[in-house]
Structure 1
Amino acid sequence: MAIYRLGSVAASAGNMLNAIGLLRQLRRLAVFSGLAVLGGLTACSDSAINSPHPAGEDADETVLYSNFSERPKHLDPARSYSSDEGRFIDQIYDPPLQYHYLKRPYELEANTLTQLPDIVYTNTNGDVVTENAADLAFSTYVFTLKPGIYYQPHPAFATNAAGDPLYRFDTAADSVAFHGLEDFDQTATRELVADDYIYQIKRLADPANLSPIRGLLAEYIVGMDAFAGTVTAARKQLKQTDPRFQQTDWLDLREYPLQGVEQQGDYQFSVRLNGKYPQFKYWLAMHFFAPLPALVDAFYHQPGLADRNIVLDWHPVGTGPFMMTKNDPNEAIILQRNPNYRDDFYPSEGEPGDAEAGLLDAAGARLPLIDKAVYRLEKESIPLWTKFLQGYYDRSGIASDSFDQAVSIGSTGVNLSAEMQAMGIGMEIEVVPGTYYLAFNMLDPVVGGLSEPGSAVLPDPVMQERARKLRQAIAIAYNQEEAISIFANGRGEVAQSPIPPGIFGYQSGQRGINSYVFDWDPNARSTGSKTAGAPVRKSLDEARRLLAEAGYPDGRDAVTGEPLVLNLDTPSGGGGASANQIWMIKQFGKLNIQLNIRGSDYNRFKEKMRSGNAQLFQWGWMADYPDAENFMFLLYSANGQVVTGGSGVNSSNYANADYDRLFEQMKLMPDSPQRLALIDQMLAIYHHDAPWASAWHPHSYVLNNPWVKNTKAHGISKAVLKYFGIDNAERQQARAERNQPVLWPLILVAVLMLILMVPGYRAYQRRQHARVITRQHPDTGGQY
């Protein structure tokens, strides 16, 4: 019994000593842990722990870091028609022509060709005629390719000893082992030949590929509609008779001739157009006309591959400066230098001022200037902005939340903030060649006054005049300048016509204003302008006068006394009105017009537009090519949405016979004083009829970290990545400076932890000591 008690006492004493030791160890651990953390942070200057990029990713390569917010839907050059998709595939595919990177106005030059295409004009007998001949029937473009251009490495080009394609699967079961493109071990390349361009043109004509430009091209490329009918019939027959076709759904388009396209050798081909279409040259600089070999098309149509997204829409194949080596829409998209890219060099001439801006420092350098471009998924603007400032992204737009931090606007115009200047950040400002507009549906009886296309009912001239004055009144009251200031941080300018700056036909100053909406004040000055004179919006009194003449004095029907209610149709269903829509309601409220927002899902909205049941709507158009025709056709009656069944670009269904006549004269003319005179007449009609209530041209603000070189905004072409340069050493140094660890909070926490632990430790010692000196021995009664 005594032995047991003595053992208990020993155990208690041991526990006490263990506890004291443990406490001391914890104290030491806290101190050493804090020091370790501080030391670790201090040692991270070259590879900061807050970097979103893998360590060493840019150690041996020159990498440009950027971002994306949504996965590109189409990477097939026949289908893609989005700028978000073009930023990727335009670096991969090689159309025949390209834009000079530095020159403005925009200038086309040969890309894969030895020179710009030769154009031969002929009549119906095949005789050569002049460009302006009355009997001109056809324009034939002759293309001559540069030899020695090769495709990126790809398994579609791999062959066996017999020269046959290495990867060919008869059934889906044969391809089951291939889960991604990386599972194909063997790759190879092949030289670009004329037939690759011909095959791609046939893909544009094939209705199965759903190319968005097929309808337009079919008007001009000889035999395109006939070819579409032929391959559609062939595909239908093969589905019924050919078991192989039933598994692959691949039609070899080489077996079906396209009348207007002819191969004239391995490096030469021609395309024949009906009549004359000067804008065709601009399409030749787009990825739609990039080459695609038939064997690549066949490779991606093999059984089972589409089930695993091994398709052209996910994995593009081209001869351009880059190739896509990773397409993970949940993480990153990576473009790597194409090791087979041809000799291509940075331009040695540009505009005045380019040399002073350092844009010619890389003159003559072999392209591309970087090895890789990494685009990481970023859905939120604030984290993206923070990472740009930390140096982890090289270029950035400016979200509304960050605008005041990045930019200051004063009497001298738009400038970088002092913080951005201190970091060496530069800014590109460009007027984007595009137009956003608030439009009326001209088929609506209240705001339009036109009759349905093909209707036997003629429009009532009185109602047309009333509707015109109503549109003019709204155009005056709708303060587009204020909308740009509030909702775009001032990044835009009021449009006086559909044609944006930088496109022939745009007129600035007093000559270009819409005199039905603005007066010219010679003493006024636009923000940032150094010259006097600016348009000033007409008064609300003038708008109210027009509204009364339209039959709606003070916003009420003069006959019934009912308030005038107009409907704005939008592709956003559910929820309350947005801040922009509330602002719009107030704009119409200036005239006591009630604006009703009718939101619907996108498909329903498109159906309203297609059938002409919308009343007011907002729309936009970005330049496909730098020509006035590409904007003036937005009001050409033959392009009306209702007339074309929804495919036309004239969303307002505007129709004016005089405008149409002038457009048909203007559209095929070269830029000249005569063409400008026609454009001026068309704009006078547009101003008078007011089919759009208001419009504006957006401005693009792009920030560049100081290590990014050779960037110059190009409003038309997306194929600019090959010109960008990165100074790795400068970036590494800036990252280290911008991401210095802030140590004082950790030191403070460590000190506070020690301070808080000392009283507890002392209290614990006192309690243990008290227990020792007051305990009685169970046998002797003594204390110990």
Structure 2
Amino acid sequence: MLGLIGLALLLAEPGKAASQTAEAKTLRIVFQTPEASFDPGSVSDEVSISVTENIIEPLLRSDYLARPAKLVPNTAEGLPEVSADGLSYTFRLRKGIFFTPDPAFKGKPRELVAADYAYSIRRHFDPKLKSPSLWLFAGKIAGADATREAALKTGRYDYDAPVAGLETPERHSLRIRLARPDRNFAQVFAMAVTGALAREVVEHYGQDIGGHPVGTGPFVLKEYRRGNKIVLEANPHFRELRFAAETNPDPERQAIARRLHGQRLPRVQRVEVAIIEEPQSRWLAFLNGEIDVLPLPRDLAELAHRNGKLSPELAAKGVRLQAHPVPNVYFFFFNLDDPVVGGYTPEKIALRRAIALAYDTDEAIRQLFKGEAIPAQQIIPADVYGHDPKAQLKATRFNPAEARALLDRFGYRDRDGDGYRELPDGKPMVLERASVTSTEARQADEFWKRSMDAIGIRLSFRKDKLPELRKLHRAGKIQLMSEGWNADYPDGENFMQLLYGPNAGQENAARFKLPEFDRLYEDTRNLPDSLERLGKFRRMTELVIAYAPWRLTHHLTEHDLVQPWVTNYLKHSFQASSWIYADIDAAKRRGKP
């Protein structure tokens, strides 16, 4: 119950600070896994992105209520001006936007300018940063890759060296020239990883920049205890921003639009984020009214609803159940550079296929995900361009007998009679699966152990926290691991980049490098939406099933429980948080049971 103790301290600290915030509108949020950093150049996990996007702003954002997703200006005056050949993007910034005061600015107001975005983009090319988001820019911006190559040789990235594709012709104008057309390039500038950092701030805090985010956004970081407590407060220097959104036929969104119309944002004065790893502790915190929005833990889904109908107990309290489609895909990946499971020879492919055949997706959904998922038959999920609703690719086929026969055929046999197979050369074979430290992960470990025992493969486990495991798989030091991906933007290219060869060491966790796949991926980046483009996406999925760098498992369906005193809260498919829009009815909160 350490999570609950920490939460109680977070929400009920004694003294002056508590009395000052007693009447403030406070949104209380919980996450399962700890943050890694609040540096846009380093973030990749949900909690880090959620906090960062509320402090450090990108040029664009997603319309809160529009479905399908729609880009709208944020710090930019409008959407980018794109040249006829698709190679030049010009952003014009709003004037009069200022960073929050900070010692890095020596007590002087500091306006946001185009050079801040140019600098922040360049940081992704700095090898010392090891940006997990480099794939968004690598090979795209004219001249930028050369600066990275020079830094790899000299050991120092030159932020003052000219880059042909990054220009600031005026103080509030940013022009980006591409090496080739990229149909989704504007989408990148609605992501937290493209938020603007001031060079002075980065140089002032150095290696500690991840814990000192300074931006222009609606909130500022007020308190921070790594892995335990994050408190944001409304930025008193934030520009006047009033809600505006296009109409939507959905009744819930219409109601939100009416309530928010013309209202100044953000609606709350404070956001308190707790990190509670155990599902039961998160559940109890919500029932006690200590959490305002609870992403429903899978293990406890049956306590909250049956087939989307809220339990009578929760309904009587006024709790709302929000179901939201999430464009995601989950899979387990093999490290293709690993000497045991990696490689492209027939026996290596056979081993990976056998492991894939031994995994029972339907049973995993019942046992591990409590029915809160559907089998994944293709890489690109529904509601994302490139998904083929008619495709029957049998990506989650379960057949342990076929798996055993495949292993026998390619020389993976039990030679010493201990019940476990050896490698074709007779050496011992032990697979190592990486997983996080949580109750849910332990249950998954047990499921995996049973699955591998059934085909005679010995399995061990490497346990650590998710940020550490992701560092390891980017370094090529993980053999086998389950992962997932939520769409950054609604196009299949965003999913296929996870298997693009040049992205190995970044988001290509499998380190998959197949020339045919890479050519198809490059084609899809340039083609207009068409049957030809859809066909290439399908072929890429077929190659992944054939070579088995991944085994697709499922698409999660997600539910949030929302307290009755919370209004305007919706989960957005392409925006990590809704904190700027959420509101709190303080009278209802005070009257809670």
Partner of 2:425: none
2:53 and 2:195 in contact (8 A); partners too: no
Change (3 A) 1:438 1:312: closer
In structure 2, the CA distance between the partners of 1:274 and 1:415, relative to structure 1 (3 Å rule), is: same
Give the Cα separation in 1 of the matches to 2:410 and 2:122: 59
Query: Of the candidates 216, 232, 254, which is equivalent to residue 335 of structure 1?
Result: 232
Cα distance between partner residues in 2 of 1:281 and 1:594: 49
Return the alpha-carbon distance in structure 2 between the equivalents of residues 502 and 198 of structure 1: 32
Aligned residue runs from structure 1 range 8-23, under 5 A: none
1:581 and 2:412 are equivalent in the alignment = no
Higher relative contact order (CA 8 A, sep 6+): 2
- Equivalent residue for 1:513? 392
Residue from 197, 200, 220 that aligns with 2:120? 200
Q: Calculate the aligned-residue CA RMSD, in Å.
A: 4.0
Q: How many residues matched?
A: 571
> Which residue of 1 is the match for residue 5 of structure 2?
none
* Residue of structure 2 aligned with 1:438, choices 332, 352, 361: 332
State the Cα distance separating 1:272 from its structure 2 match: 1.5
2:209 is paired with a residue whose SS is coil
Equivalence for 2:65: 102
Matching of residue 420 in structure 1 with residue 314 in structure 2:
yes
Which residue of structure 2 lines up, in the alignment, with residue 209 of structure 1? 129
Alignment match, 1:143:
91
Pair member with larger Rg: 1
Q: CA 1:347–1:206 in 2, change beyond 3 Å: closer, same or farther?
A: same
Q: Tell me, in whole angstroms, the C-alpha distance in 1 between the residues paired with 2:109 and 2:10.
A: 40
Deviation per CA, 1:429-476, whole angstroms, max 9, x where unpaired?
Answer: 2343332213455678997772xxxxxxxx5xxxx3x77677656545
Residue-by-residue CA offset, 1:334-363 (whole Å, 9 max, x unaligned): 211112222322233243214566222322
CA distance change for structure 1 residues 93 and 552 in 2, over 3 Å: closer, same or farther? Answer: same
CA distance in 1: counterparts of 2:310 and 2:41, whole angstroms: 40
- Report percent identity of matched pairs: 30
- In 1, the alpha carbon distance for the partners of 2:446 and 2:123 equals 46
Q: Does 1:406 align with 2:263?
A: no
Structure 2 alignment gaps of length 5 or more: 1-7, 423-428
AA of the residue aligned to 1:480 = T
**Selected match of 2:194 from 289, 304, 307:** 289
Q: What's the counterpart of residue 544 of structure 1? A: 401
String of CA shifts for 1:606-657, please: whole Å, max 9, x gaps: 879966994x543333334332112223334454x5xxxx4460506363x5
Structure 1 residues 223 and 550: alpha-carbon distance in aligned structure 2, compared to 1, 3 A threshold: same
State how 1:718-733 maps to structure 2 within 5 Å: 718-733=576-591
Counterpart of 2:285, as a letter, is K
Residues in 2 aligned to 1:407 and 1:334: alpha-carbon distance in whole angstroms: 31
* TM-score, length basis structure 2: 0.83
State the 1:726 CA deviation: 1.1
Q: SS of the residue aligned with 1:581?
A: helix
1:748-759 superposed matches below 5 A: none
- Check whether the contact 1:431–1:492 (CA below 8 A) recurs between aligned residues: no
Give the letter aligned to residue 392 of structure 2.
Answer: I
Match of 2:170, SS state, is coil
Q: TM-score, normalised by structure 1?
A: 0.64
C-alpha deviations, 1:150-203, integer Å up to 9, x for none? Answer: 22233333xxxxxxx4xxxxxxxxxxxxxxxxxxxxx55332222222232333
Question: Which whole-Å CA distance do the structure 1 matches of 2:570 and 2:470 have between them?
Answer: 37
Task: Classify 1:57/1:705 alpha carbon distance in 2 versus 1 (closer, same or farther; 3 Å).
Answer: farther
Kept after mapping to 1: 8 A contact 2:359/2:451: yes
Residue in 2 that maps onto 1:375: 273
Q: Deviations over 1:233-269 (max 9, x none)?
A: 8986xxxxxxxxxxxxxx994x443332111112112
Note if contact 2:141-2:179 (Cα within 8 Å) is conserved in structure 1.
yes
CA contact (8 A) 2:42 2:131 kept: yes
Q: Distance in 2 between matches of 1:203 and 1:605?
A: 20
Q: Are the equivalent residues in 2 in contact too, given 1:544–1:553 (CA < 8 A)? A: no
Is the contact between residue 544 and residue 554 of structure 1 (CA under 8 Å) also seen in structure 2? no
Distance across 1 between alignment mates of 2:394 and 2:302: 34
Contact 1:103–1:350 under 8 Å retained in 2: yes
1:479 aligned onto 2:360: yes
In 2, Cα distance between the equivalents of 1:330 and 1:201?
Answer: 27
Q: 1:594: how far off? A: 0.6
Distance 2:9 2:59 in 1: 45
Alignment deviations for residues 107-135 of structure 1 (CA, whole Å, 9 cap, x no partner): 212111111111225xxxxxxxx45xxxx
CA distance in 2, matches of 1:611, 1:567: 18
Q: How do residues 8-87 of structure 1 correspond to structure 2 at under 5 angstroms?
A: 52=12, 56-68=19-31, 72-87=35-50
Match of 2:294 in 1: 396
State the shift of 1:395 in Å.
1.0
Q: 1:504 offset after TM fit, Å?
A: 1.2
Q: What is the distance in 2 between the residues matched to 1:325 and 1:605?
A: 28
Task: Return the letter of the residue paired with 2:181.
Answer: K
- Preserved contact between residue 147 and residue 158 of structure 2 (Cα < 8 Å): no
1:19 match: none
After superposition, what is the alpha-carbon deviation per residue over 1:453-509, rounded to whole angstroms, capped at 9, x for unaligned? xxxxxx5xxxx3x7767765654553211112111222211100111222112233x
Partner of 1:596: 458
